[in-house]
Structure 1
Amino acid sequence: MAAASRHPSSTNFNPIPSSSPAFGTPVHPIIPAVAALAPPPLRPTILPILLPPQTLRPLAFRTFTKKHNLNFTTSALSALATFIGRHCGSGWREEGLAEKVLEEVAKTWKKSGGPVIVDGTGDMLKAILRTLEGCMSGGRIMQGKSAVSRQGSFAFGSGEESQELDEGRPRLKENSSFGLSSLQVEDVEEDDEQSRDPRSWLRVISAFEQPRLVYNVGKKHFERSTTKPTLFPPPSHKTLLFRDRYNLIHQRLLRNEAFQTPSFDQQSSNTLTRSDSMTVQQSYKITPIANLLGRSGSSHLLLGLLTVAPTGTLAISDLTGSIALDLQHAKPHVGEDAAWFCPGMIVLIDGVYEEDYNSTTSGLGQTGGIGGTIGGKFIGFSIGGPPCERRNVTVGVSDGVKSENGDVTAGAGFGWVDFLGVGSERATGSKLRRTEQRLLGPGGAHTGNARMIVCGEVNLDSPGTLEALHKMLRSYATDDADRMPMTVVLMGNFVTHAVMAGGNSGSGGSIEYKEYFNALASVLTEYPALLRRTTFVLVPGDKDPWASAFSAGASTVIPKKGVPDIFTSRVKRAFAEANREAGVKKGGVEGEAVFATNPARMSLFGPAHEIVLFRDDITSRLRRTAIRFATPSHDPEQGEPVDADATMMSGGLGTDSSTREDTMDVDTPAPAPAASPSADFETLMARKLVRTVLDQSHLSPFPLSTRPVHWDYASALQLYPLPTTLVLADAEAPAFAVTYEGCHVMNPGRLVRDGRGNQIGWLEYDVVSKRGVIKEDML
């Protein structure tokens, strides 16, 4: 201590000597009163400021939109401005503090699987800002040091394991982005025993639970509907139903290359010109109906909804007005038997506007009335459906192009939109595809399970149907456990007649219907091994309860709920008994029966595989309501039929008709030589049905009077983006498997083939190759 007193440090030196130097009494420095009262050094303080959201908007736009392809709402901008003004102060611009905060929020939002729209009203942005608040010191994000928050402390980038937080707080992993753990975002690569079963990645999505997304024309993105859905909505929702359909197809057309004006060509035309036997296509331009006024005799291309006016005249309507159509000279641009055109569909019509100069008012309304019916008529020469857009183009995934690490590259599109509520393509698509390849790919442990069986028109009140189910299930139950199918889909109608609408008096109809499902349960109990390792999905038809109780089997309103639980208790008990006897471990994947809605969607490995299940006799409805075109007239001098006018589009906008026809691959059983004409006709009908439905991107492109629809749940009928696979169960159409624009469309037909003796048939779908094969057998 004496040495310490003789050689004091510069900080402890005091000119006053010790009271007893001989005994080495330590020096006690005299501390001034001001120094004694001074508090210990604190972190740099930030003086909060009031930062207007408009001032922050340019910086937020550069960070979110330009750099990370994200959009933000006004509420999100206000929340960010308030947060930055409170924690960054006046240095938000000069020191670049706001840019770093916005950068971290954008990265965390994308890694958390958030939608493309950053919304400030939800809990997700609030959770990110709450977590980020505890990691800031002096307006800066502390990554190399521990930052104190109001609830605990975080350690980032220290090279050591992350520290445990207060009780109830999550544990952050090293090099993890802020807020990932608190938002419960897990890496799908770290799977457990349960996730190694492919069926654990299978999810059946109800039409009433699917996210209700609406395309915002002004912001050019999808956003969730803020209104609460109801079965009795206000009348304005009926108008929004068709408005949303039009906006969706209109933005899809504008993304098509045929509707984009080349920068090197200043001229635009809506016709095709031929020069030196080579077709030169110019860009097309859609004319709003209201802009036809005063342009009589000019050619235009219209996009609108085919409707029937109160006078019985066929008309076309868009968001600006309506005009009567004259289609006596019109021809389909893809051929007579390529597609159906019915009222309720959105079509493209190329023709000439002819104004009525003989009277001041037309028979349909005022001449020149904007927003109503336009006077005169539109003489159409070519009519066609809007060309559909491939799924990889919609979600922004380059098909077949992979980066250096093996991930599928992503481009423009709606990749950050979560259409099904299972995660967006850009957030989880590449990881889940690797999981699918590991489980179901070559060398995977569950390669043999990558099959889905689809049966249509399973009439349980027919003895032949139960015998056919025995035959079909027996062919798969005898296989090895690793060869059993992943899913078996049984699609209605489950009765031949709507027993709930007639039958016996009182409750006889319901008792009779329940007995049919008890018979199905008796059939399933004979295959317990199949029940333990397979997921059964049952989709009702128009003759199933409860809607058939008042429709008598006619077209009911869609989406339609599944078969009520009161009729399915015996079937569910059969699965419970099979799982109990096998002793399935807790947390394991058990076999189950899912009574889905109509339509329903199946998601396998998140957004990597989307399967739409829909039961409807759509072919007969299309034939009844389709527009009939005039047959080709004959030239008396040449003796040959005159071809249709093909000046509008050839083969679907910019592609030759033969090339577009080759894009539709058909997979049908090899027909007998004597049956080849019938088989060719069935193939043409299959292609016609598939093209009509997919070009409309809608499961029910009809007026509400023809096919009723729940207005608030109409978004569940949209086919945008195109699903990976569409099961369109139509009992009145032949069985087929067709691929069109990358979407595989299948129709299982009837389980018991009518008019073919004891023949039965179903579909076997390969999940890996995404192709279906028609299977046939004899009872």
Structure 2
Amino acid sequence: MDVDLLPLRKRITNTFKLCGFLIRSENSSYLAEQLLPFDAAERDKWLTVITENLQSQKLLTPHVERAALEKAINELNRVGLDEGETVFALIDAFTVPRFRYNQRIKKFELDTQPRQLLTAPRMKSDYMQQRYAMLLQKTLRHDLFAPAVIQDGVGAEAQAKKFKLQFAENLLATSVMKEAVVLGLLTQLKEGKFYVEDPTGCVQLDLTGARFHAGFFCEGCFVLAEGNYNNGVLKVDGLGFPPAEPATSSRAFFGTANTWGGESAKLLKYSAGLQELERTNTETTIVFLSDVRLDLPIVMDKLRQLFVGYDSCPPQAIVLMGPFTASTRNYHELRQHLDALGGLAAGCEQLKKQTDLILVPSSEDPTAPNILPRAPIPECLAAGLLKAWPRTQLATNPCRLQYCTQQIVVCRLDLMAKFCRNTLHFPEDTSQIEQHFARTIVCQGHLVPIHPITMPVHWDYDPALWLYPLPDLIVMGDSCQSFSSSQHGCTVLNTGSFVKSKFAFKVYIPATRTIEDSEIPDEME
């Protein structure tokens, strides 16, 4: 390798001198390593464009430092992309933009009001009202509730049965109404008595004899209740969720505004350059692991095997989800384990150069309360890891990933157990339990459609938990058995527990939108 680098280093030094630059031996070695995979003609082209880029940087001295070289290479790799467009980005939950639905113009508008953790008391009801407004507008557009249209002289009612959505105040203003359908929050205002509540009022439900559609119906989720209303009580015949809506339909009501978050002013879904990169980068992968207990020696051994195995073909990112240690108040213990994690990558130079290591904390990790969205692990605890692996990123829980035009949500939460424990009606078909799970969060358009007592949420940052418009992939780090399910163009993936599943993990291939099941064997040759 060194024999091949010597003539290339000499060529780099001479080219830089002709352009008025001086380059130290360690920096010429770095650039030679970057150019070595190309043939002679390609190397000359790269040297030309790199020196042109350095001239445009207007360096203060003729000496070219490593930082200037890296900046030039990064900018040249982004040729064809507009300003603000990135191939891969991690988006903090606390920076996700908040949109409000404008009933007058029937569009979502960006809310630029400042947000804070300890917010005004009015936000306790406001965030639920905004969630209701989001679900209401897409429900009214659904074929079952859209206004009737006459086609070829035949009324739409004759073609398919239509429903008229009622508000709680419409029912409360009368004594009897047949075939009433109400959208509202499923809540228990009195012990043992359930109600459906919307901004206009609440109606008591009689669920005896009700037919439950697919999904988990927990207190705190929004439901469509259909039945006959009589003297203050709605006797429910069927209880279902608001209909899901494909992302392509939803985005029409946001325009080109960036609803996902990140640096770009417009949504990167529409970027032609990123679409081409996504199509051609067929080898790119993203690796997901959950329940990564760094305090267990066997887990550290398996992670070392994982890093060594991926050093020859680095993925775009490796996402590790907590808890990273057993629940403990000794925060310095976690720092020691994170330092050891950085040491596992010793010798894996290609992996550390090309792969982002993303840490997503669980509710058991320090030092934030058990409220979503959850702040990342403090940098002071991960200082050693950040030094050993500079591309490490400390993420919030949940967080968002953007790879080219694809949108990915990552959340570490044992949500399946919460659904099963709090549902009013357990699904009869237990063999399809993952379908019920996926349908619940997709139809609700929210990561935690459950009572705030069960899973508290920061009122001002509730939009960070929205799944509207639907992303391409939702990755749940739930300790139950792993699964994947597709609903309306959105894939819901549960990674399962790395510890409990004999060290299994998931690999996502963006080019084909496929998921591979992988496992670290007991012995690697």
What is the TM-score normalised by the length of structure 1? 0.54
Unaligned runs of 5+ in 1: 1-190, 274-279, 356-375, 397-412, 501-508, 549-555, 577-591, 632-679
Q: Report the counterpart of residue 288 of structure 1 in structure 2.
A: 167
Matched, 1:498 2:314: no
Pick from 489, 492, 516 the counterpart of residue 337 of structure 2.
516
Secondary structure of 1:699 counterpart: coil
| Per-residue deviation, 1:778 | 2.2
| Per-residue deviation, 1:300 | 0.3
Tell me how far apart the structure 2 counterparts of residues 540 and 289 of structure 1 sit (CA, whole Å): 41
Aligned residue type for 2:302: A
Secondary structure of 1:306 counterpart: strand
Secondary structure of 2:455 counterpart: coil
Q: Report the counterpart of residue 489 of structure 2 in structure 1.
A: 742
| Contact 2:376 2:397 (C-alpha < 8 Å) held by counterparts | yes
Matched, 1:202 2:1: no
Pick from 750, 760, 767 the counterpart of residue 510 of structure 2.
767
| Per-residue deviation, 1:237 | 0.5
Post-superposition CA distance 1:474-522 (Å, at most 9, x none): 2222x3xxx3211111111112x3212xxxxxxxx02212111122112
Q: Report the counterpart of residue 243 of structure 1 in structure 2.
A: 129
Aligned residue type for 1:739: S
Secondary structure of 2:392 counterpart: strand
Q: Report the counterpart of residue 28 of structure 2 in structure 1.
A: none
Matched, 1:472 2:355: no
Tell me how far apart the structure 2 counterparts of residues 743 and 749 of structure 1 sit (CA, whole Å): 19
Aligned residue type for 2:282: T
State, as a whole percentage, how many aligned pairs show the same letter: 28
The alpha-carbon distance between structure 1 residues 232 and 742, as it changes in their structure 2 partners (threshold 3 A), is same
Stretches of 4+ moved more than 4 A in 1?
A: 196-200, 265-269, 422-428
| Per-residue deviation, 1:426 | 7.5
Q: How does 1:557-636 map to 2 (within 5 A)?
A: 557-576=371-390, 592-605=391-404, 608-628=405-425
Q: Report the counterpart of residue 274 of structure 2 in structure 1.
A: 435
Deviates more, 1:205-214 or 1:420-429: 420-429
Higher RCO, Cα 8 Å, sep 6+: 2
Pick from 430, 433, 436 the counterpart of residue 688 of structure 1.
436
| Contact 1:562 1:595 (C-alpha < 8 Å) held by counterparts | yes
Structure with larger Rg: 1
Q: How does 1:167-182 map to 2 (within 5 A)?
A: none
The alpha-carbon distance between structure 1 residues 473 and 197, as it changes in their structure 2 partners (threshold 3 A), is farther
Q: Report the counterpart of residue 25 of structure 1 in structure 2.
A: none
Tell me how far apart the structure 2 counterparts of residues 461 and 424 of structure 1 sit (CA, whole Å): 39
| Contact 1:268 1:284 (C-alpha < 8 Å) held by counterparts | no
Tell me how far apart the structure 1 counterparts of residues 205 and 337 of structure 2 sit (CA, whole Å): 50
Post-superposition CA distance 1:298-320 (Å, at most 9, x none): 22011100001134411110111
Pick from 213, 227, 232 the counterpart of residue 351 of structure 1.
227
| Contact 2:473 2:491 (C-alpha < 8 Å) held by counterparts | yes
The alpha-carbon distance between structure 1 residues 475 and 457, as it changes in their structure 2 partners (threshold 3 A), is same
Post-superposition CA distance 1:15-64 (Å, at most 9, x none): xxxxxxxxxxxxxxxxxxxxxxxxxxxxxxxxxxxxxxxxxxxxxxxxxx
Tell me how far apart the structure 1 counterparts of residues 278 and 105 of structure 2 sit (CA, whole Å): 40
| Per-residue deviation, 1:702 | 1.4
Q: Report the counterpart of residue 98 of structure 1 in structure 2.
A: none
Secondary structure of 1:258 counterpart: coil
Post-superposition CA distance 1:610-648 (Å, at most 9, x none): 1111110000000111003799xxxxxxxxxxxxxxxxx
RMSD: 2.5
Aligned residue type for 2:406: H
Aligned residue type for 2:328: V
The alpha-carbon distance between structure 1 residues 418 and 518, as it changes in their structure 2 partners (threshold 3 A), is same
Aligned residue type for 2:120: P
| Contact 2:225 2:238 (C-alpha < 8 Å) held by counterparts | yes
| Contact 2:80 2:273 (C-alpha < 8 Å) held by counterparts | no
Q: Report the counterpart of residue 290 of structure 2 in structure 1.
A: 456
Matched, 1:447 2:291: no
Tell me how far apart the structure 1 counterparts of residues 350 and 393 of structure 2 sit (CA, whole Å): 18
Secondary structure of 1:238 counterpart: helix
Q: Report the counterpart of residue 196 of structure 2 in structure 1.
A: 316
Tell me how far apart the structure 1 counterparts of residues 343 and 392 of structure 2 sit (CA, whole Å): 14
Post-superposition CA distance 1:415-470 (Å, at most 9, x none): 3232024488977544x244342x343xx4x432x110111111111112112212
The alpha-carbon distance between structure 1 residues 742 and 467, as it changes in their structure 2 partners (threshold 3 A), is same
Tell me how far apart the structure 2 counterparts of residues 768 and 518 of structure 1 sit (CA, whole Å): 34
The alpha-carbon distance between structure 1 residues 746 and 197, as it changes in their structure 2 partners (threshold 3 A), is farther
